[in-house]
Amino acid sequence: MNTLRALRHASLFLLLLWLTNLAVAAEQKFIAQLHANTPQELADLLDRAESWARQSKTYPKYPISIVLHGPEVNVFIKQNYGRYQALVDQAAKLDAFKVVDIKICERWIGFNNIERNQLPPFVDTVPYGPAEERRLIEAGYQSF
């Protein structure tokens, strides 16, 4: 009987610890960095962010910062919307619920002759993507 009671207490403790971790995670600041710079890597990242948000009972206090400065930016160019519609729509939804905050490197879009009006209005731009990532990390953002 004591063993059963101990197991119940341990299970309750683990459940409370898990719930506390979810609440703490919603308060943390995260940055997600892409390494392969592909649409599939971006899709996987957005799926992880959506799953993370679903596990919490509240909306995140701070969105996951995603700074794009490579060929994955092509996903967001208006002429590619038909090809990447599901991915762009998912990103827009996650941005609307403040799960993610997507920023695109102005240097990259300038180098690739992309105008700001070719990008959806929910994405922000930053002067230089790698510098923005360093700034966020120095400000205490943790890897997602």
pLDDT above 50: residue 138: yes
* Gap between the Cα atoms of 123 and 69, Å rounded: 13
Q: Are 53 and 89 in contact (CB under 8 A)?
A: no
Residue 41 main-chain phi, psi, to 5 deg: -65, -40
pLDDT band at 27 (very low <50, low <70, confident <90, very high): confident
* Gap between the Cα atoms of 62 and 136, Å rounded: 13
Which domains, ranges and CATH numbers included, belong to the chain? 28-143 (3.40.1260.10)
End-to-end CA distance of the chain: 43
The pTM assigned to this predicted structure is 0.79
Residue 93 main-chain phi, psi, to 5 deg: -65, -45
* Gap between the Cα atoms of 131 and 105, Å rounded: 10
* Gap between the Cα atoms of 49 and 92, Å rounded: 13
The strands making up 124-126's β-sheet, listed across from edge to edge, are 124-126, 100-105, 64-68, 30-32, 142-143
Query: pLDDT tens across 44-69, in order?
Result: 999 999 999 999 999 899 999 999 99
CA nearest 84: which of 116, 31, 115, 46? Answer: 46
